Structure 1
């Protein structure tokens, strides 16, 4: 089978390198996601779930072969403020709304802004 597009020239050596680099990113991202969840005032398992799901989505839907996604500390004050004012259940709604806004910005090609 001949690969085209994103996977053109991809081979077993590249897969091995990707598995090693992905493992290193996971070793860093998983405890970091759990720590950010605790700092944001939610249970650590929420950070674990979020890190795994976000990592898979970034890998599958990312726009670059070299893209890395992981937890970001800058969101802690924002998440904590949402949890303190609106509660855990509304944190999910806020996250979904932010995701819809990001998708719309991508569809409307607002990335250049």
Structure 2
């Protein structure tokens, strides 16, 4: 069953897909993302946190929960890399290695926040 975190992560992933695979000339210039790499990192930070939280809450067994945490981070990081690779075939877009690195770093930060939150709850 999907919990609120998994539903949120699916919605967030769809939003990322739409925004990142839109042809370049159709994308509005948003000043909030003037620091491009921070924007990339933030978007995948949120995705990883939601995805990890959702997978973790769906499982009761502690061993499976531990695996779910790393699987969620891996899914978010891989998604970030694949999004960048897919941009190479979109008009007026291109794959940027540093964007992929920022996406992956954001995913790791989502994992870090999840771990901090869980330690504070314990």
> TM-score under structure 2 normalisation?
0.32
Q: Which is greater in Rg?
A: 1
| Structure with more of its chain in helix, by fraction | 2
Higher relative contact order (CA 8 A, sep 6+): 2
